[in-house]
Structure 1
Amino acid sequence: MTRAIVDLDAIGHNTTVLTGAAGRAQVMAVVKANGFGHGSVPVARAALAHGASWLGVTSLREAMELRGAGIGAPILMWLYAPDDVLDEALLADVDISVSSARALEALGRTAGRLGRAAAVHLKADTGLSRAGATAADWPHLLTVAGKMQAAGLITVRGLWSHLATAEDPADPGLHRQLLDFGHARAEAAAAGFTGPLIHLANSAAALQLPQARFDLVRPGIALYGVEPIPGRSFGLRPAMTLESTVILTKRVAPGAGVSYGHDHVVERETTLALVPAGYADGVPRRVTGRAEVTVHGVRRPIVGRVAMDQVVVDVGDLPVSAGDRVVLFGAGGPSVDEWAAWADTNPHEILTGIGGRVPRCYRGRSAGKTISTRSPSRPEECALMAPS
């Protein structure tokens, strides 16, 4: 009924665009949050087959999922508590971001116990005020890192930070971050760290800020085909289509209330189509009264409140019947950017919000071989659906 079609050719195309823009810099495909809802393992394979050389995730669990799938490319993980047990990361050759001396010392103890040096990327906070060592704490982190590297407990593989904004090249905050990152790099070089990979650029910076590319860029949303800079197009291709099926239609008279609370009342005789996709599947409740879907190639509104498992579409006088295909967003329907606007959010939340019960069906080519349409559980859920 409801499923997400993931076009791996689009992932490959977008990776090619990003590697071209990156120039001499390597590309880290950010596949956190289950590949922004697309499936981290298939996306990682497609990106690596088209020029990416690194993978980025937040958690140990995400990193180990990739390693468990046999993916041996370098992986950086960056979100964990200072005292978390990271034995698996070291044993699986997963690089680890470090933002504090406390976290570094805990990692050093793990490395000593395992007899295996940890590969780390030291993170400087240049203005995002999330992870990363502040300018005041950065010198101490460098000092501790130097001692631990000399003791063979760690290898400093990278120095990095994260931009708060890269969409507007004239933004003063962006320039301050670039300057502060320059100071952090200079301090690291003075402390003896002259060989690590330097990385800063997100999707927007990778595409339009050469001064932020350094040795490695870390595209996230652009990898999935969402243009990261308002008003500019770099030829990215959306990789996900969310589609469903009409399961019931009914003709209703003027004055009929629709869904909970009867926030919507039909003004004229019309046909209502029931679609089994609700907020448990990733349809935000906030789109009530705003969102549209495509049926028979025609945009029609979702009416009434979005429920947990279903929405109602006013199809007017279109000849719609049970079994017809409905495109919520993607190829042949509204864009994920439109859905983000309707929900007062960003495309990232729309994509990552697609629920776990929605099967992901993969099409296209990855690593030189055809990926057949398939589902994690029931293959019939990913059988070709005829356009309505």
Structure 2
Amino acid sequence: MNSQEAKAGAVLTVDLDALKENWRRLKARLKPGAELASVVKADGYGLGAEAAGAALSEAGCKNFFVARIDEGIRLREALQGGERIFVLDGVLPGTAREFPHHDLIPVLNEPGQIEEWLNAGKADHPAALHVDTGMNRLGLSAAELDKLMPRLQAARLALVMSHLACSEETDNPKNQEQLKRFKPIAERFPALPASLANSSGIFLGSTFHFDLARGGVALYGVNPTPGQPNPMAQVVKLQGKIVQVRAVDTPETVGYGATHRVGGPALIATVSVGYADGWPRALSNRGFGMLGGIRVPLVGRVSMDLITFDVT
């Protein structure tokens, strides 16, 4: 333990080698010829987009997705060069000229963005096209696509994509419904690579893979197959120091609001982590920690800088 860690109440460790391994694991699940993109939006899911992007590039990733254009600009500076960076928000008013300047690719989501892009004279710079298949969030509707097909001939499209709404639920009929809707859309652009699958979508089978899958939360170690063993490596570890261990017996309670009442003699360990460190307050009296490889339940309310575990 170095001096900085010794002074810290909590230490968050990000394993970039595990991140690379997760990219390789997802890539290995794809059908032959399909590529795996990495989603590094929201500052790499809170773990640092620049460091995550650089590591994923070293692993072999050539395609990245971010949400905002400012994220794309920062990521471009961190990468080796030659990678494609797609911006999911697309072209917001006044941003069209920034995309070629920073070598970013907008994902065009609605008619106004397409007009903004083409009217700005950027038709020679690549853009992606998002078509909605049932998420009803971003993307052109089927009717808008029909209407805009002639106009899209003027754009230099590099990808056509959609997004799955229920891919974590393997038996949800929404998955097949969206696949059925996306196939004819992709066929309307035979020269373009197509992308539908997100992290969990990769595990729905090869028919969802198309040309490019988008690995997101699974890259960072979150289980893309809820209810099944996690196929991903652990990327993040949060360690807190035990500040105090105290013996408590019934009818005593633990923490603010007296929300946990001990049922008998117990040892309560107070740890120097709280909601100020990102531990969700909603996990009060829920979840667990690991002490010497043993699961110990979190008891009581999560405080700003302290949480309590029953280590009996």
Shorter-normalised TM range: 0.7 to 0.9
Question: 3-state SS of the aligned residue for 2:19?
Answer: helix
Letter in 1 for 2:167: A
Question: 3-state SS of the aligned residue for 1:201?
Answer: coil
Letter in 1 for 2:213: V
**Larger RCO (CA within 8 A; separation ≥ 6):** 1
1:124 aligned residue: 131
Q: 1:97, CA displacement in angstroms?
A: 0.4
Q: 1:71, CA displacement in angstroms?
A: 4.0
8 Å Cα contact 2:96-2:116 kept in structure 1: no
2:70 corresponds to 1:69: no
Structure 2 stretches lacking a partner, 5+ long = 1-8
Matches of 2:257 and 2:204, distance apart in 1:
47
What do the CA deviations read for 1:323-347 (whole angstroms, capped 9, x no partner)? xxxxxxxxxxxxxxxxxxxxxxxxx
Letter in 2 for 1:178: L
Matches of 1:245 and 1:208, distance apart in 2:
41
1:172 aligned residue: 173
Letter in 1 for 2:289: V
1:52 aligned residue: 61
8 Å Cα contact 2:90-2:107 kept in structure 1: no
Deviates more, 1:121-130 or 1:283-292: 283-292
1:206 aligned residue: 202
Question: 3-state SS of the aligned residue for 1:247?
Answer: strand
Q: 1:38, CA displacement in angstroms?
A: 2.4
Q: 1:253, CA displacement in angstroms?
A: 5.2
Q: 1:9, CA displacement in angstroms?
A: 1.8
2:39 corresponds to 1:43: no
Sort the Cα spacing of 1:85 and 1:70 in 2 relative to 1 into closer, same or farther, 3 A.
same
2:4 aligned residue: none
Sort the Cα spacing of 1:80 and 1:274 in 2 relative to 1 into closer, same or farther, 3 A.
farther
What do the CA deviations read for 1:192-250 (whole angstroms, capped 9, x no partner)? xx422211111222234211212111011221233312354574212111111112334
Letter in 2 for 1:314: D
Q: 1:40, CA displacement in angstroms?
A: 1.6
Q: TM-score, normalised by structure 1?
A: 0.71
Structure 1 stretches lacking a partner, 5+ long = 150-154, 317-388
Identity of aligned residues (%): 30
Q: TM-score, normalised by structure 2?
A: 0.87
1:357 aligned residue: none
Taking the TM superposition and a 5 Å limit, the aligned residue runs for 1:77-88 are 77-79=87-89, 82-88=92-98
Q: 1:75, CA displacement in angstroms?
A: 0.7
2:278 corresponds to 1:282: yes
Sort the Cα spacing of 1:84 and 1:243 in 2 relative to 1 into closer, same or farther, 3 A.
farther
Match of residue 225, structure 2, among 203, 225, 229: 229
8 Å Cα contact 1:27-1:51 kept in structure 2: no
Question: 3-state SS of the aligned residue for 1:280?
Answer: helix
1:28 aligned residue: 37
Letter in 2 for 1:62: E
1:183 aligned residue: 184
8 Å Cα contact 1:111-1:118 kept in structure 2: no
8 Å Cα contact 2:242-2:271 kept in structure 1: yes
Matches of 1:275 and 1:231, distance apart in 2:
29
Matches of 2:27 and 2:246, distance apart in 1:
50
2:80 corresponds to 1:96: no
What do the CA deviations read for 1:132-186 (whole angstroms, capped 9, x no partner)? 111111122322222x33xxxxx21111111112345554322221121122223
Q: Over aligned residue pairs, what C-alpha RMSD do you find? A: 2.3
Count residues in correspondence: 302
Matches of 2:162 and 2:222, distance apart in 1:
23
Q: 1:289, CA displacement in angstroms?
A: 1.8
8 Å Cα contact 1:285-1:307 kept in structure 2: yes
Structure 1 runs of 4+ aligned residues shifted over 6 Å read: none
